[in-house]
Structure 1
Amino acid sequence: MEFSQYDVNALMQITTRPNLVFTEGHGMWLTDNNGKRYLDYLQGWAVNCLGHSPQCVVDAITSQAGKLLNPSPAFYNEPSIVLASLLTANSVFDRVFFANSGAEANEGAIKLARKWGKVNKNAAGENRYEIITFNHAFHGRTLATMSASGKTGWDTMFAPQVPGFLKAELNDIASVERLITDKTVAVMLEPVQGESGVIPATREFMQALRALTKQRNMLLIVDEVQAGMGRTGELFAYQLSNIEPDIMTLGKGIGGGVPLAALLAREEISVFEPGEQGGTYNGNPVMTAVGIAVLSELLKPGFLQSVKDKGAYMRAELLKLSEKHGLDGERGEGLLRALKLGKDIGPKIVEMARDMEPVGLLLNSPRPDLLRFMPSLTVSKEEIDQMVNMLSEVLTKLGH
């Protein structure tokens, strides 16, 4: 079907899209309405952790959809209980609230921290509600999560902001200490800042942050919407630093392509009372059945080690590419990586790679001087080699 035959004007214009419609996807590959195939290094922005349409996800949806779609969150359902138990058994957390998106999970984390700050008041008997977040952070697109984020321009886009979010600098513990007041209840961060260009928090910073928050009776919240669920080579990114946070949020990869997110907390932090938190679809049995299938794959012997191995392989190949074309190197954790271009050619590379023939390459440039790679955790070394070779071809055409 020709693109001109699609009435795309029925969709609200929220982003600039190329004139193609994807109709099918398997593993690392997408196919468009003209039958052209693309090697996909976006994977829905780190959503499809097992690739496009993995059989375990298809089977989970099909099986659960034939049993029970939505009994309402006023009742228990089996898949949500099983997935919550799997998550707590494999983390430091005791309680789980399921949501539909990472932004919704982060909104819940903010609410939970503020509720905990009402229960654990300061010395003057006042509520604590301020949360220290970080410049260049990304926590979602609700009003509160946009206010918590540190993206340039977001403070005025839908002003006024939700108050109570102070911005520190990642990997600078002194910048956090300077912002602490008697109203501070928590520090919230991404263990790897994704949207700002794949900037990992150092092990030393994460450990210092945990020590500081404990010392000052504050919560530590890790937003693992992008970096969690095996993406870094550990099941959860906080495990890289050998710390125990108080609250964690998950999204993207936990659903393997379907809308699923989670807010996890330790028992003593779980202070919500009935009526304070909810959602029509929280713990939906179809979505949580998919979550079980995804997490079960990640927990199979050798899976996470394979992510570490392929992450190391991709790092080595990107460094070779960088040296060959005179770029500025790479950074990241596991299979969340970035190539530093040294100049603002990212958007042009994205366009040229997509338009390659006979197959295209889908890349992401969150900043004009950088490319971000978010492949399926099941990506093969051959598919890494193919991506690097295709990217090298584009760079050569650009005169690099």
Structure 2
Amino acid sequence: MADNQNTQTVTRETFNDVMVPNYNPAQMIPVKGEGSRVWDQQGKEYIDFAGGIAVNCLGHCHPVMVSALKQQSEKLWHLSNVFTNEPAIRLAKRLVETTFADRVYFANSGAEANEAALKLARRWALEEHNEDKQQIIAFSKGFHGRTFFTVTVGGQPAYSEGFGPKPGGIEHVPYNDIDALRELISDKTCAVMMEPLQGEGGVVPPDADFVKQVRELCDQHQALLIFDEVQTGFGRTGTLYAYEQFDVMPDILTTAKSLGGGFPIGAMLATEAVAAHLKPGTHGSTYGGNPLACAVSEAVLNFVNTKEVLDGVKSREQWLKEQLNAIGERYGVFKEVRGKGCLIGAELSDSYAGRAKDFMLAGQEHGVMVLIAGANVLRFTPSLIIPEDDVKEGLQRLEKAVAQVVAQ
């Protein structure tokens, strides 16, 4: 399956010779993808439950995306924000029509969208209230990106330590602990930032009333509620955005990953009153709102935001959970299978604690790509339209990998 153009000239060893060592990728190199299947340099096929970490919402090389990219690539690639462009305006208009938001800001990634959201929240607090109102509260084990501001707001200290003095005014409380939040929040709080379902932190869903109670506390203390929907958004949990399932509206929402289906794009959505504080010159991005990215994203949005696809995500949740629970029971490897839609986590039982990576690597040997979310959770973020046969086949391969790890 692998086409030979250039594949003989680079190997996994070449990566070690030329790349900064902050990643340690798999030994195989994928070269081609179609739907939910991927082929490596040697032509070996894999079923993709990783989805580029919740990015490839329509799988690989979906005709709708390929067509949008080809058409736009022959019209206009880049302008900068000295000018606007039609795909960006069209996409923003669609996002406003389909969400709580009145205004949209485009960036290139989730981290950039979150950076914009945090800067906007501070700006809003300064201009609407006073300079004492600058505290940002986030949640332990949360993840919001790798810029210095977003990684400090993220609740995983290992990612932010070792780089010198951190941005100040940021505090954390445990996820799902409303009492801890109630104790910390005050009129000096400018924003609370949260994932409506924690992704990197172990695929942790919120308790039933938690999200509503967070909204109420924000209202009480005139603080903004920022939803990081980078991983949960764009159909991933069975609605266009997860906030719809909680009957709670944020003031600011960030989105990326599935937003471009594989083309890099991020966006910050906000209400008009809040967005008004990013006046000309206060924030920007050279590539944000790039016509190529926006044209692809618009095509993905039109495809994903349909009853058929969103209902299909709920079916896929059932297929994955039922079959993962069955594997867990047969081998005694999973303590809990949880999550929403096509964002599923299988937490390892105590006997296998800390060994998620072993299962992930064994999966690759058996031709299935999965992710981890910390040392104890296997994470599944496949295409939102992965066929049932691919789910079955992929989980059969995963079962062989599980059997191998258990036998060891």
TM-score interval for Structure 1 and Structure 2 normalised by the shorter chain? over 0.9
Contact 1:323 1:329 in 2 (8 A): no
1:149 maps to a residue whose letter is: G
- What do the CA deviations read for 1:85-133 (whole angstroms, capped 9, x no partner)? 1101010100000000000000000000001101221xxx444211100
Contact 1:120 1:127 in 2 (8 A): no
Structure-2 change in CA distance of 1:295 and 1:4 (3 Å): closer
Match of 2:164 among 135, 159, 181: 159
Contact 1:193 1:200 in 2 (8 A): yes
- What do the CA deviations read for 1:33-57 (whole angstroms, capped 9, x no partner)? 1111111111110011110111111
Count of aligned pairs:
394
Task: Name the SS of the counterpart of 1:328 in structure 2.
Answer: strand
Q: Tell me the residue number matched to 1:350.
A: 360
> Structure 2 length normalisation: TM-score?
0.93
Q: Tell me the residue number matched to 1:217.
A: 222
Supply the distance in 2 between the matched residues of 1:95 and 1:399 (Cα, whole angstroms).
51
Alignment of 1:306 with 2:312, yes or no, is yes
Supply the distance in 1 between the matched residues of 2:375 and 2:397 (Cα, whole angstroms).
19
Supply the distance in 1 between the matched residues of 2:165 and 2:69 (Cα, whole angstroms).
41
- What do the CA deviations read for 1:156-184 (whole angstroms, capped 9, x no partner)? 23131111111011111111111123321
Supply the distance in 1 between the matched residues of 2:279 and 2:372 (Cα, whole angstroms).
42
Match of 2:45 among 24, 33, 37: 37
The structural deviation recorded for 1:148 is 0.2
Matched ranges for 1:1-400 at <5 A: 1-2=7-8, 4=11, 7-8=14-15, 9-121=17-129, 125-270=130-275, 271-326=277-332, 327-342=334-349, 343=352, 344-356=354-366, 360-399=367-406
- What do the CA deviations read for 1:149-206 (whole angstroms, capped 9, x no partner)? 0114234231311111110111111111111233211100011111111001233100
Q: Which ranges of structure 1 fall in alignment gaps of 5 or more residues?
A: none
RMSD, aligned α-carbons: 1.5
The structural deviation recorded for 1:5 is 8.8
- What do the CA deviations read for 1:275-331 (whole angstroms, capped 9, x no partner)? 001110111111000110000001233110111121122112222222222121201
Supply the distance in 2 between the matched residues of 1:128 and 1:283 (Cα, whole angstroms).
31
Supply the distance in 2 between the matched residues of 1:396 and 1:7 (Cα, whole angstroms).
33
Contact 2:337 2:344 in 1 (8 A): yes
2:342 maps to a residue whose letter is: L
Task: Name the SS of the counterpart of 2:312 in structure 1.
Answer: helix
Supply the distance in 1 between the matched residues of 2:200 and 2:184 (Cα, whole angstroms).
24
1:355 maps to a residue whose letter is: E
> Structure 1 length normalisation: TM-score?
0.95
Contact 1:203 1:240 in 2 (8 A): no
Q: Percent identity?
A: 37
2:314 maps to a residue whose letter is: K
Ranges of 4+ aligned residues in structure 1 off by more than 4 Å: 1-6
Q: Which ranges of structure 2 fall in alignment gaps of 5 or more residues?
A: 1-6
Task: Name the SS of the counterpart of 2:184 in structure 1.
Answer: coil
Task: Name the SS of the counterpart of 1:203 in structure 2.
Answer: coil
1:57 maps to a residue whose letter is: M
Structure-2 change in CA distance of 1:156 and 1:345 (3 Å): closer
The structural deviation recorded for 1:12 is 2.0
Task: Name the SS of the counterpart of 1:222 in structure 2.
Answer: strand
Structure-2 change in CA distance of 1:4 and 1:317 (3 Å): closer
